[in-house]
Amino acid sequence: MKVANVTFHGIGNTGTDVCAEERDVWLREAQFKAVLEVIRGRVGVCITVDDGNASDMEIVAPALRERNMGASFFVPVGLLGQSGYMSKSDVRQLAEAGFVIGSHGMKHLDWRKLNDDDLRCEVHDSRQILEQMIGRSVREASCPFGSYDLRVLRFLKQAGYRRVYTSDRGSASRQAWLQARNTISAWDDPVSVEKMLSKGPLSPDLIMCRIKTAIKRLR
């Protein structure tokens, strides 16, 4: 069975804490909730939330609970407690509420650009810290910036993750170890999201996504 994974980042007012490159994936609260209504009740769509922004606890989690929807939150543990990010207590509360907690590394760095020691810290140490924080296993990770290559995938396998999320777009087998995701951007609305989720596997852009993904796995 195929699944379409959608990814949210920050929600609400961008403020001064949001860097320029993040503004492209930052949604207004009303916009976010309108997109949720498109996803709500739709079979084969899974929600993921990246970056550990404070809005995850303030806006995202309450909106999901109101609609009885689940999600996986991917957290950069080295940034927790800093301005604009969730606290460790917030992450524990999300886990206790039944949401999945996964690793987004330590400091939201491009994993392809790191040496082996730093990469091991990002994918291995972050998992251990998260597990100690929430008192349960952490089995999922998402690649910051969607950046990965064969070496990154090898480190993630060695760290013991059972599922790894990218930003490659398109659908994925529910059982696949590597999961493509579809980022919801600041320009999306219910119409564009509906169109994205309705695309068939043979649409030209999704075929191109699969080709690019295959290349990334081998580089």
Q: Is the pLDDT of residue 211 over 80?
A: no
Q: Does the pLDDT of residue 185 top 60, yes or no?
A: yes
The range of the structural domain enclosing residue 168 comes to: 2-218
- Mean pLDDT, all residues of the chain: 90
Domain count, the chain: 1
Cβ distance 208 to 215 under 8 Å?
Answer: no
Q: Region 66-95: what's the mean pLDDT? A: 97
pLDDT band at 217 (very low <50, low <70, confident <90, very high): low
Q: For the chain, what percent of residues have pLDDT higher than 70?
A: 87
Separation between Cα atoms, residue 201 and residue 35, nearest integer Å = 22
**What is d(CA 75, CA 91) in angstroms, rounded to the nearest whole number?**
8
pLDDT score recorded for residue 207: 47
| Contacts within 8 Å (CB) and 24+ apart, 90-97 | 90/54, 90/56, 90/57, 91/52, 91/130, 91/133, 91/134, 92/133, 92/134, 92/135, 93/57, 94/56, 94/57, 94/61, 95/134, 95/135, 95/136, 97/61, 97/65
**What is the per-residue pLDDT for 22?**
76
Give the CATH number for residue 127. Answer: 3.20.20.370
Q: Is 150 helix (H, G, I), strand (E, B) or coil?
A: helix
- What's the distance, Cα to Cα, between the start and end of the chain in Å? 28
Q: Are strands 163-165 and 178-179 parallel, antiparallel or unpaired?
A: parallel
